[in-house]
Amino acid sequence: MLAKRIIPCLDIKDGRTVKGVNFEQLRDAGDPVELGCRYVTEGADELVFLDITATVEKRKTLAELARKIARHLNIPFTIGGGIRSVTDAGILLDAGADKISVNSAAVRDPALISRLADQFGSQFVVVAVDAKKVNGEWLVHLNGGRVATEHRLLDWVKESENRGAGEILFTSMNNDGTKAGFACDALAAVADQVSIPVIASGGAGSMEHFRDVFTHGKADAGLAASIFHFKEIEIRDLKKYLADQRIPVRL
């Protein structure tokens, strides 16, 4: 069995790492490159950097951030935010990113996933999916969770895979920032729907939550932010706990 991955996520706003609850109430969590370096020494398997305020004007800034990260880190990292074209993605690849993440732009133009996969390979393309349970139905949302769509979660992840996505990063908006646990039922359904790796996001608050997401939730990787940023859980301690639970991790 492949080792399960622990991935800190750094949401970037105006060059700083921020964290909120249910995509709101943002608070400062530090310099993204300094945090990234800390996570390398603490044993993170990968990192995800998401510019939550990315615009056309800021894409140059995002590339500069990618270059700075690549100079200081020796583990794979994914970067996303405002990527709307093969050209945008290529700039980040050239700047040192191992993978790019697309979200709203892919929902608006699903063929973007195919173009990216054709140009760079599926392993470079992570489709991030923000979904919220509304009246018993998991629906995909856009623009940082502000805009609801009619796309059903399971239909969209399957289409993303068919179009060439190499990984799915699924964030439960209901669970995000609550520290009440991942949306394991929904994650298991996503994992059953696709054959590519699934990264779980939203709700991590304890080591037991990671155990549950790797067993009941069937996730390939567990992603979290504030519990790592504010040292509520140390990555090395988490990995030792998971190993004790017979969950394969890289120690």
**Residue of 11, 51, 176, 220 marked catalytic:** 11
> Residue 26 corresponds to which amino acid?
L
Q: Are strands 167-172 and 125-134 parallel, antiparallel or unpaired?
A: parallel
**Amino acid in the structure at residue 239:** K
11 is catalytic: yes
Nearest to 44 by CA among 241, 244, 235, 211: 235
DSSP 137-164: EEEEEETTTTEEEEEEHHHHHHHHHHTT
Q: Is the CB of residue 232 less than 8 Å from the CB of residue 203?
A: no
Q: What whole-number distance in Å separates Cα of residue 214 and Cα of residue 216?
A: 6
φ, ψ for residue 212, nearest 5 deg: -65, -40
Given the residues 51, 130, 176, 220, the one annotated as active site: 130
Is residue 130 part of the annotated active site? The answer reads yes
Catalytic center residues: 11, 130
